[in-house]
């Protein structure tokens, strides 16, 4: 027994597939720009921690900024690699 879909359902499935393709192509630049923003935020946090120099908070800021920097750079490289 084979189930036949009406043409309206097939049209709806095709529109959903095209929407998914469009969102996937838009998502790559968005994730790329978010990863670059993480890198910039990491650099800023590390810079502020360096300017403050003494205490627990600057040390935590330096660790957090380094994490943002590494995470953002890795995310950016993964997105770039997946496009090629």
Domain boundaries of the chain, sorted by first residue = 29-83
Chain-centre distance of CA 65, in angstroms?
Answer: 17
pTM of the model: 0.54
Taking only the tens place, the pLDDT of each residue in 27-84 is: 556 566 777 888 888 888 888 888 887 888 888 888 888 888 888 888 878 877 776 6
- Asked whether the predicted pLDDT for residue 3 surpasses 70, the reply is no
Q: Which two tokens stand for residue 40?
A: 């910039």
In angstroms, the CA 24 to CA 18 distance is: 10
Burial classification of residue 45, based on how many CB atoms lie within 10 Å of its CB (0-12 exposed, 13-18 middle, 19 or more buried): buried
Return the higher-pLDDT residue of 55 and 26.
55
Q: What is the C-alpha separation between 48 and 65, in angstroms, rounded?
A: 9
């Amino acid at each position: 027994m084979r189930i036949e879909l009406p043409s309206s359902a097939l049209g709806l499935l095709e529109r959903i597939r095209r929407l998914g393709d469009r969102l996937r192509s838009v998502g790559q630049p968005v994730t790329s720009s978010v990863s670059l923003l993480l890198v910039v935020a990491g650099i800023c946090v590390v810079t502020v921690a360096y300017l403050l120099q003494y205490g627990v908070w600057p040390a935590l800021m330096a660790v957090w900024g380094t994490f943002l920097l590494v995470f953002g750079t890795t995310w950016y490289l993964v997105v770039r690699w997946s496009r090629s």
